[in-house]
Structure 1
Amino acid sequence: MMDTVLGAIIASMTHFIIGTIIGLPAVTLTELTNPETTDIFLNTSQVALFSSIIHIGAAMGSLIAGAMNLRLGQRVTLLLTLPATLLLWIILAFSPAVWMVLLVRAFLGAAQGFIGAASSNYVVEIADSNMRGRLSGIIDTCRQIGFLLVYVIGTFNLTWRQISVVCGCVTCIPPFIGLFFLPNSPRWLVTRGRIEEAEKAFTFYRGSHFDVRPELKSVINQFENTTANKTSVREQFHQMLQPGVYPRFILLAFLMFVVHFTGNIAIATFVVPIFQAANAQLDPYASAVLIGSFRVAGTIAFLLIVDHVGRRTALLFSSAACTTSLVALGAYFYLQNGNKDVTSVSWLPLTSLLFYTPFVCAIQAVTSLLRGEILPTALRALGASIMYVVFFTGMFASTQTFPEMITATGEEGAFWVFGGCCVLMAVVVAITLPETKGLSLEQIDDLFRSQNQESLKKLQSFESKVP
């Protein structure tokens, strides 16, 4: 199983890139918005685009990545994307004009979309069912390390151009080298009819002493029984509309969009300005590093417990904790903006966010895990890419609207809206999401199909009783 863990770590390291791409504005906007700068200057509208345009690029990249993952596999997609991403970081560092900075940020977002779908699917598909939650948690841990990395770099006396070069080299080169030593996903190989290679890949990840034939046979049977070898993009779209599949896509689309209105990305992107607005006499950059550390620590803690407490329980408990923190943070800004003396509670913004951060990271980690778990194997490449389109669209919406929400409702209104979205997510999860802990991907597929059949029977029984 050590090869499985190693493979998951190498694929997850690509998420260093995503963390640094998203977190870059937090430590560079101070320089880029300085009117006395002799370098590039961003006005208010350009600042919003610099922070959010990556998510539009990511949505488009995810859509294109679906076809690449389907045809080339996740590993090859990553091997092609990583050198291109490093080149984009270097181009960003030498960009001579605002329009080029924004264009390169959009392309970095597209690379983020390619990386997200491919790496997440790869880890889910190589993992044993008893370790899948923990191994998928490594993805989110690496993404949070990316945030922390860029926050730490921001404390040094580096220009935004130098930060870009450092981020590119540190995040792109190591996983590119590691991926050369890994096989393709065995489940993807089955969808392409490459059964011999799939058996070798399973043997690589399970160990030569392990009989992989039962697991391989289960994957082959599930693929043949549920898809009738429908492997083209058009056929997969048709398959997604089947009664046993589309309810899952609706649930996932809801989670992928609403998860960003729990405040996670908006707070991570604007963490330094938030502390500056709080007037809490704390160094905003040091506070950002502390928040980044809690993001990493919280994701690691989630990684250790997810396969014990379950996905559903983790989502419900974390949503309740985030709601409490956001309500408290909103109350602080409500008092401050109402000209009340908040000196005695100046500790509240940092304390609230430190309590909030591990739980919101757990929410995102669980939703990322579910994205890989509840999609059928044969539809996972294209389905995950579609979910990433929704995911990054939600990310763009929350990042782009956060400054406008503050202008319209004050900081307190923005944080209370985020708290309300946490409650909404918890309600939907409690009603619709079954527990997937400890189940193989094929068992999860059967669970959702049987659940859908039971729902249809109840609906038909109800309709028969209506006069």
Structure 2
Amino acid sequence: MIGSVVACAILVRLGQRTALLICLPLNLVSWIVLATSSAVLTLHSARLVQGITTGLGGSAAYTLVTEVAFSRYRGRLCSIVDMLRSIGIFFVLGVGALMSWRSLAIFSGVLSTVLPFFGLLFIPNSPRWLASKRRYQEAEDALRFYRGPAFDITPEMSDIRTVVRRNKKDSLKTQLGHLREWQSLKRFLVLSFLSFGFQFTGHSIVITFTVPIFMETKSGIDPYMSGVLLGVTRVVGAVFYLLTADCCGRKLMFMFHSLICSLALTCISVYFYVKFEIQDEELASKMSVLPLISLLTLSFSICSALPNMLQHQRELMPLSFRAAGINILGVLFLGGVVLVIQGFPLMVDTLQLYGSFACFAGIMFLFAFYPMALMPETRKKSLEEIEMAMSKPKASLSE
């Protein structure tokens, strides 16, 4: 969360590429300190630096990919980030069984920082960020680099100039000032509600409490092997989203996968209701594989629903407010995760397990239809086309 707050000013002033070149070495140092130190204060300090640099780097990487990707393939290119993250989590779980946690820390730090750092040395910054700083020639050169020498960048560059010239020269103060305009504020409030509220669908609970949930079922299924299966399923789900991200509309895909997630959460709720409320052991025994099947289905579909939602947010965020707005959404997103995870034990004490998952299922069902009513379709549209389509005569809140 702190990293997302820090990223607001850094991304506006320095751009995504420079921000990544700053945070990646610091992240590597924090991994090395974590792996080699035994002092409690030093370990906590290393974790703090890790959190800040991860928040900054994650926001910068997502925004950079969104801004440089060609509209026709933006969904797939952005989904690669989520796919690699799922592969990384599963890979670390597998490698972690073969080495100590200190060796794993150094291995993870080197793998996640060194290669990206050297790769960034050979690419320019986002043409849209450069244009926001009125560095139009550099923006044109960067756009030509990302599109290739044979591609006609004139129409796209013209749209970028048109949108940029509507706004004052970019700074954090001017970006925050755009919230006084009703159209920008309305869009931001809708996206903020989606980012924060989506955490109450329970997807982070399943990841965090996988082993305890399986232990609670007392079904004979090995909880740790189930966790590995869920990791594999997340990778498969991320690959599936990569292949289908640009095949149908963002809203339709989000609705479909959210309904699948809602059904899976409902099945988990039904199992716990039968086992602990009705206490029908014979029926519960017949349903013993239902929690595993449901959690596997949930893990698969959430790897499409969640990145789809995050991608939609980045595309709909007003260009005049993107760098600051995306990071504010990041704070709300992570704040929701912390609130839900910390509050889950109290929720279980109050509603029981079956009531908690029924609540998650209901919220997920509502979110399946929420974007259909309040969000436009963005697939295969450039960021400037989206912005111009949503721009209307602006009304200041002070009027």
Counterpart pick for 1:122 among 64, 83, 96: 64
Query: Structure 1 residues 358 and 79 mapped into 2: Cα distance closer, same or farther (>3 Å)?
Result: same
Q: CA deviation at 1:107?
A: 3.4
Q: How many residues align?
A: 392
Listed one character per residue, the Cα deviations across residues 47-81 of structure 1 (whole Å, up to 9, x for unaligned) are xxxxxxxxxxxx22111101111111101111111
Counterpart pick for 2:213 among 265, 270, 274: 274
Listed one character per residue, the Cα deviations across residues 341-390 of structure 1 (whole Å, up to 9, x for unaligned) are 12222211110011111211212111110121012333211111111111
Q: Which moved more, 1:93-102 or 1:120-129?
A: 93-102
1:401 partner amino acid: G
Residues 332 and 349, structure 1, Cα contact 8 Å, conserved in 2: yes
User: What is residue 168 of structure 1 aligned with on the other side?
Assistant: 109
| Aligned: 1:131 with 2:73 | yes
Listed one character per residue, the Cα deviations across residues 192-216 of structure 1 (whole Å, up to 9, x for unaligned) are 1211111111111111112212211
Q: How does 1:33-432 map to 2 (within 5 A)?
A: 59-96=1-38, 101-154=43-96, 156-225=97-166, 227-229=167-169, 231-338=170-277, 339-341=279-281, 342-432=284-374
Query: Structure 1 residues 419 and 157 mapped into 2: Cα distance closer, same or farther (>3 Å)?
Result: same
Residues 70 and 381, structure 1, Cα contact 8 Å, conserved in 2: yes
Query: Structure 1 residues 147 and 421 mapped into 2: Cα distance closer, same or farther (>3 Å)?
Result: farther
CA distance in 2, matches of 1:162, 1:288: 23
Listed one character per residue, the Cα deviations across residues 210-263 of structure 1 (whole Å, up to 9, x for unaligned) are 2212211210111112x133x121111111221221111011101111222222
Listed one character per residue, the Cα deviations across residues 71-107 of structure 1 (whole Å, up to 9, x for unaligned) are 1110111111112112222333345365655554343
CA distance in 1, matches of 2:328, 2:162: 25
Query: Structure 1 residues 222 and 247 mapped into 2: Cα distance closer, same or farther (>3 Å)?
Result: same
2:348 partner amino acid: I
* C-alpha RMSD over aligned residues: 2.0
1:197 partner amino acid: E
Residues 178 and 320, structure 2, Cα contact 8 Å, conserved in 1: no
1:217 partner amino acid: S
Aligned structure 1 segments of 4 or more residues deviating by more than 4 angstroms: 97-103
Residues 26 and 49, structure 2, Cα contact 8 Å, conserved in 1: no
Residues 291 and 357, structure 1, Cα contact 8 Å, conserved in 2: yes
Residues 376 and 442, structure 1, Cα contact 8 Å, conserved in 2: no
Query: Structure 1 residues 395 and 347 mapped into 2: Cα distance closer, same or farther (>3 Å)?
Result: same
CA distance in 2, matches of 1:262, 1:104: 32
2:243 partner amino acid: L
Residues 10 and 19, structure 2, Cα contact 8 Å, conserved in 1: yes
Query: Structure 1 residues 269 and 174 mapped into 2: Cα distance closer, same or farther (>3 Å)?
Result: farther
Q: CA deviation at 1:147?
A: 2.2
Residues 187 and 377, structure 1, Cα contact 8 Å, conserved in 2: no
Residues 88 and 104, structure 1, Cα contact 8 Å, conserved in 2: yes
Residues 376 and 441, structure 1, Cα contact 8 Å, conserved in 2: no
Q: CA deviation at 1:403?
A: 2.9
Residues 206 and 212, structure 1, Cα contact 8 Å, conserved in 2: yes
1:324 partner amino acid: L
Residues 168 and 174, structure 2, Cα contact 8 Å, conserved in 1: no
Query: Structure 1 residues 441 and 118 mapped into 2: Cα distance closer, same or farther (>3 Å)?
Result: same
Among the aligned pairs, what percent are the same residue?
36
SS in 2 for 1:372: helix
Query: Structure 1 residues 82 and 216 mapped into 2: Cα distance closer, same or farther (>3 Å)?
Result: same
CA distance in 2, matches of 1:325, 1:80: 42
CA distance in 2, matches of 1:294, 1:422: 20
CA distance in 1, matches of 2:163, 2:131: 10
1:311 partner amino acid: R
1:386 partner amino acid: I
Unaligned runs of 5+ in 1: 1-58, 457-467
Residues 291 and 353, structure 1, Cα contact 8 Å, conserved in 2: yes
Unaligned runs of 5+ in 2: none
